[in-house]
Amino acid sequence: MSEVRKPLYAYVGAADLAVEKLRALPATASRLSDRVGELTVEAAKVPTQVGTTVRGLPETVGAQLSGLQGRAAQLYNAWIDRGEKRVTEIRRSPATEEAVTRTRTAVSRTKAASTSARRAADAVSKAAVSQAPLSGRPSSR
């Protein structure tokens, strides 16, 4: 895979993942609303756990920070793979192939029209030159 395409594939992969997650939101919202009752029981335990949690924060944060760079690289590579697969699917889709064919046809017709217009302009120019009075002679009108 070309190094130049990696950022594009990562972008497409991240967008594809975001769309997947957005489609799953209704189910997630339903699960969360079912959990509201459990959260009140857990919230009652929080005051007793705060001290222990605060004392362990330096170690927890240090461990999380050391793993972030590796995790970022993993995510980036996963997005690249996902994006490359998605782009390949899109390229091979019948709709894309039809669009490419139509575009090539349009380009070909545009080139042909350009050539015809150029030839017509050349012909008009030559005709105008041949009909113009020679320099120094008055017009025969």
Q: Would you give the distance in Å from CA 35 to the centre of its chain?
A: 36
* Cα 81 to Cα 2: distance, rounded to the nearest angstrom: 12
* Cα 60 to Cα 54: distance, rounded to the nearest angstrom: 10
* Cα 105 to Cα 127: distance, rounded to the nearest angstrom: 33
Among 20-29, 39-48, 117-126, which is the least confidently predicted range?
A: 39-48
* Cα 5 to Cα 86: distance, rounded to the nearest angstrom: 13
* Cα 100 to Cα 6: distance, rounded to the nearest angstrom: 23
What does the mean pLDDT of the chain come to?
88
* Cα 83 to Cα 89: distance, rounded to the nearest angstrom: 10
Q: At what angle do helices 6-55 and 57-92 cross, to 10 degrees?
A: 160
Note the pLDDT of residue 136: 54
Question: pTM score, two decimals?
Answer: 0.55
Read off the pLDDT of each residue in 49-68 and give the average, rounded to a whole number.
84
Tens-place pLDDT, residues 11-21: 999 999 999 99
Would you give the DSSP letter of residue 5?
T
Read off the pLDDT of each residue in 102-108 and give the average, rounded to a whole number.
97
**Res. 35 pLDDT band, cuts 50 70 90:** confident
For residue 133, pLDDT over 80 is answered with: no
* Cα 11 to Cα 23: distance, rounded to the nearest angstrom: 18
Name 86's Cβ contacts closer than 8 Å, sequence gap at least 6: 12, 13, 16
Name 14's Cβ contacts closer than 8 Å, sequence gap at least 6: 79, 83
